[in-house]
Amino acid sequence: MEQSTATCGRIRHPLAPFGLGLITLGVYSLVWMYKILEEMRRHANNYSITSGGAAVGFLFLPIFNIFWAIYLWFRIPTCVNRMKGDCNTENGRLNAAIGLVNLIPIIGYIIWSALIQSSLNDHWRAHGQRV
């Protein structure tokens, strides 16, 4: 799955962050978060989206990582919505409140990451990304 343009992101299976994260003991979940944040930042011309490197790096700081992870639960859906709104593609599917689903152990993360990736997939398809 190669990217068709420099401004589009990669279409991934919605359950990949959880499934591959489970197989790799959580490493792929960090890689996934880095990749989607970098793709959104590149696509949206760098407007107030945290870089993928900073987002993942902050997760390794003791104590701060708890607050940062919770912040990302709410920030990523907001950024996806804003990016989609700026491009006039299907705005309003996600909102920050979806971060609350992460309070449900395991199932919450599966639902959250699947919704984020599905929404991104829809956006990338609207911009002509090849599957």
Q: For position 96, what pLDDT does the model report?
A: 83
Between the two ends of the chain, the Cα-to-Cα distance in Å is 6
The pLDDT tens digits for 51-64 are 888 889 998 988 89
Name residue 11's amino acid: I
The pLDDT tens digits for 7-43 are 678 999 999 999 999 999 999 999 999 999 989 888 8
Is the separation of the CB atoms in 36 and 9 below 8 Å? Answer: yes
The pLDDT tens digits for 78-106 are 888 888 877 776 655 778 889 999 999 99
Q: Look at residues 40, 43, 42, 33 and name the one whose alpha carbon lies nearest to residue 73.
A: 33
